[in-house]
Amino acid sequence: MFRILFHAPEIPGNTGNAIRLAAITGAELHLVEPLGFDFSDAKLRRAGLDYHDLAVVTVHKNIEDAWRELQPERVYAFTSDGTASYADIAYCPGDVLMFGQESVGLPETLKSDPHVTATVRLPMLPSLRSLNLANAASIAVYEAWRQQGFSGAQI
C-alpha cells in the first residue's frame, strides 16, 4: 500500500490521527525525528483510539535512515507551494507521501531532495496558509487509494 512520511511532526493529535488513518487504509506511517512528543502522550493515544496495535508505524532517526529503509521509487512532497495538484498524480502502491512540520511545513532541502519525484499541493483559498497535517494526509491517502479501486477495502 502507500507510505505516509511525517518529517518532524510536532502535534501528538495529528500523529495519533495518522496512526488511525494508516490502520484503516493499510498504509504505513513513517515518522522522522525529532518528534514533538513521545508515544505515551495522552493526546496521541486518544486520537489514535485503539488502532495503535493495528497500524504499521516506524520511527526513523533522520531522513537518511528513512530513505535507506524505504528505498522509495517515488516520493511526493506535499507543500503549499507544490507545483503539481494532488489530483493530477497517478499514484502507485509503495509511493511515499511526505509531509512536513505543522508549524513550518517541509524544509527547502527536503523539497529539493533527489528522492522527491514532485512537490504536490492541495487546493486552498489563496488567503489561507495551510491545512491541518492529519487532514492533508487523509486527503492524499484516500485519493491514492481511490485510484487503486480501494484495493482490499469493504465498499
Question: Are 125 and 37 spatial neighbours (Cβ–Cβ below 8 Å)?
Answer: no
Structure confidence at residue 144 (pLDDT) = 98
For residue 111, the model assigns a pLDDT of 98
Domain count, the chain: 1
Higher pLDDT, 130 or 104: 104
Give domain status of residue 153, yes or no. no
**C-alpha–C-alpha distance, residues 130 and 113, integer Å:** 22
The three cell numbers locating residue 92: 502507485
Determine what percent of the chain is predicted with pLDDT higher than 70. 95
Show the domain range for 97. Answer: 3-147
- CA separation for the pair 8, 107 (Å, rounded): 10
**Residue 91: inside a domain, yes or no?**
yes
Judging by DSSP bridges, how do beta strands 84-85 and 75-78 pair with one another?
A: unpaired
CATH of the domain at 97: 3.40.1280.10
pTM value? Answer: 0.93
Instruction: Give residue 48's pLDDT.
Output: 52
